[in-house]
Amino acid sequence: MVEIISFNTLSKLFASLKDPLRVKIIKNLDIKPSVFQSWLHTLAYVRNICAHHSRLWNKMLAIEPMIPKNQKLLHGLNNKKLFFMLTAILFILNKLIDDGFDFKKEVKALLNRYDFVDKDAMGFINNWKECEIWQ
């Protein structure tokens, strides 16, 4: 079912579940269900921006994802910018999926290919490649 419903519907479905089930679904993430729900909501918003060919690279996100208090690697990032969501996606993928897709490598390759794009406008921090999660 998850493969055929929209991302927005998935976000709403997760939001409608009772906490014990939400906790069970995200048990390996080590974040609160409310944080994950905010990420899903923001990801649905980001997906819609992309799907409708709107500008994303330097946009201030209108739907703000929560910063989990217990995940220091996300502290200090601007959660209103794209880099936060790229890091959140990487965080989720590192914890849940081992399918051979290297998201980190793909992001770095894309940024190398378009090195003229202003990374500061996307919320990238100066030493982002040295951050533990991006190494």
pLDDT in tens, 28-52: 999 999 999 999 999 999 999 999 9
The answer to whether residue 1 is domain-embedded is no
Give me the domain span that covers residue 98. 7-134
User: pTM score, two decimals?
Assistant: 0.92
Q: Is it the case that residue 105 has pLDDT exceeding 90? A: yes
Q: Is it the case that residue 15 has pLDDT exceeding 90? A: yes
pLDDT of residue 111: 95
Spatial distance between the Cα atoms of 81 and 127, rounded to a whole number of angstroms: 16
In the structure encoding, which two tokens stand for residue 64, read together?
Answer: 């703000």
Q: What integer is the mean pLDDT of 95-124?
A: 91
* The total number of structural domains that make up the chain: 1
Helix residue ranges per DSSP H, the chain:
7-16, 19-25, 33-51, 82-96, 103-113
The answer to whether residue 68 is domain-embedded is yes
Q: Is it the case that residue 101 has pLDDT exceeding 90? A: no
The answer to whether residue 2 is domain-embedded is no
